[in-house]
Structure 1
């Protein structure tokens, strides 16, 4: 444990301005999303641009592609949240069991497909782990754009999965960020659940 904190201290000292930018804007956009603040979407654009470069350099190609997906969903989410607000519909919805099963199936298919591509076409040393985390994030992000309550449970799960992956890649500051993301995601789930119940 002491070695872990020493590595974090060294990482803070050696962290590039790009990782700092991605980390700070990443924290801010997730915090704002948990608070249902629409500004999470434009701020996320800065974060994903930073992390696209960082993850490419770390040979996390699934996560690199994921950043471009995040970019497109940021634009879509921004539009969708504005539209939902204007239409005065219930802001948060809950996925049915059938919809959740479809989400799990999508994660499985994406993991196998992306994992195969990363394993056969890139020099990634963690192709299927990268693919799994990327696939869960794809689905969680889509659910967030639709304001589906359970998106936060997927984020809690995948953020925990990402922590050892980023430690393995010597991205200690990012690993710490994802620990914080886990806490924010859990808090986001509780806050959204309260809002959902108030509209039920």
Structure 2
């Protein structure tokens, strides 16, 4: 058993290890509403651009570039909190956002999948679907919309299977941990939202 673990560890790359560590840190910080998740996230996604290129997960590679840009936006948005707030308030998803999100996921899944099926990409449509869901979830995370965590839980479960199949075992473990962190993020943000609502009601009654 020990020899099997040693052999497995010897097949891991320092690049993937660095990506896993920074990835876990940034998602945990996001879950606890810490603004420092954004600069660490930019480091993590930069690393994964190279990892996914080597794994021929081209939609995921492109997604990291998108994440890099949205991470910069999220860092800016979270820093622009109201003067009387310690953090940017948590919001909830609207019916319009739900409809737009579903439309965006369908559109990008079909578009990216149709393009990638003519390349050497692995799982062109599944990879594109996960990418489309992640595009939407990342925007909601940057805008502090509570339901972003539910989307992440859903898509991260799928990613675990994909990365196991592609022999990215450390990354698969990381995404399994992401599921747990996303659940914590959802519960913590929901508690913050309830606290915000109670505070707002008290102000109105005063």
TM-score by length of 1: 0.92
Contact 2:38 2:75 in 1 (8 A): yes
Show the counterpart of 1:173. 170
SS at match of 1:84: coil
Contact 1:137 1:155 in 2 (8 A): yes
Q: What is the RMSD of the two structures over their aligned residues, measured on CA atoms?
A: 1.8
Show the counterpart of 1:54. 51
Show the counterpart of 1:98. 96
SS at match of 1:160: helix
Aligned pairs for 1:1-200 within 5 A: 10-86=7-83, 88=85, 91-120=89-118, 122-200=119-197
Contact 1:11 1:171 in 2 (8 A): no
TM-score by length of 2: 0.89
SS at match of 2:20: helix
Call closer, same or farther: CA 1:115–1:9 in 2, change over 3 Å: farther
Q: Measure the CA separation in 1 of the matches of 2:120 and 2:83.
A: 47
Q: Measure the CA separation in 2 of the matches of 1:154 and 1:9.
A: 35
Contact 2:26 2:36 in 1 (8 A): yes
Contact 1:163 1:175 in 2 (8 A): yes
Call closer, same or farther: CA 1:7–1:127 in 2, change over 3 Å: farther
Q: Deviations over 1:62-90 (max 9, x none)?
A: 00000001100111000000012547486
**Number of corresponding residues:** 195
Give ranges in structure 2 of 5+ residues lacking alignment. 198-206
Q: Measure the CA separation in 1 of the matches of 2:123 and 2:12.
A: 23
Contact 2:147 2:186 in 1 (8 A): yes
Q: Measure the CA separation in 1 of the matches of 2:69 and 2:177.
A: 24
Contact 1:140 1:155 in 2 (8 A): yes
Q: Measure the CA separation in 1 of the matches of 2:183 and 2:62.
A: 25
- Mark the structure with the bigger radius of gyration: 2
Q: Measure the CA separation in 2 of the matches of 1:35 and 1:144.
A: 12
Tell me how far 1:14 sits from its aligned partner.
1.5
